[in-house]
Chain A
């Protein structure tokens, strides 16, 4: 399950899962999720750094105008 985060019995794991969910609700980039996706789907491929990922995510999301409501 690449999307549910780490199954952590310790507090840090739960916090991490919560933070990731919160980021997704706000439409923020999820770098750990991206890393997990790359390891699973494209193992051995080149991976963006956190800054590169942030830039490409933000421009993909807002680049052609964010659709949002009144």
Chain B
């Protein structure tokens, strides 16, 4: 009963946060002399209005979910990964190289190799900040931000030079893009829309990440390190190793997100000079989705769909009522602020309930992790 009440409160807080953000958005719309109902109506229509709209929403949700899964792992381990943008870019680059290197191979082999390449590329880009944090004490927030900037420049360099489409080399325009991937190597579409296999892969991975985090020793240790690094060390867990692993896995999922974008949506890489041009800020919005899903892999699925819908619907809103889709970026920011701010209420509620419950038995360093994780089982 208690656990169920907790779960309901947990699930409601983000919804309230979103409604509050939309309410503030409505005020901004009124200020811009736009009818909020009309604007939000267009947003809903654009996100869920017909089969194509729904498919677009799911296509947009896919990278958010994949990045978000990585964020769940990292944040559960107590490390903050803000490098999703760069990790997506590096994963996409490696996958694209693989996709372009093989000619006339069976499609599914190349797709498998390319997705693995994306996974590995992201893992490397996330693993470096992991090593820097664990062994050189460099703050991961800063190093992942730097790695983002380095990845973007690497992408620009490769797409303007070594990886440029040979056809573009002959033209004066020299658009910085790679050649198009062979049709056989594209991620298959699920229904006659733009919805591709990547979405299915992401959902399956969400369940696997849940199993990893809550049903394996490895996951238990990752969470223990995040809950209390000191106690984990006393309990014999090699904390540094798990910090590296968490960032590495986190990057790997973002890298996979980048790879699915190329093989499922764009079919080639092209750069406008910025990371956002390729990622559409999925590296940041994935953080939003994961937080919204209470850092739970399965909870991140509906959260990703919600934010995918907001982003897709924003385009329709822009067309119908001429409100720039940037409004939705700002509202996403507010949702993040509200969700993290609301955690104090949850803590207060929990503390009250703990005070009413039986006092806990003696706590030993290793026992402390036990009790914490048991409590958490109830939450999730």
Instruction: Note whether A and B form a binding pair.
Output: no
A residues touching B (Cβ–Cβ < 8 Å)? none
B residues touching A (Cβ–Cβ < 8 Å)? none
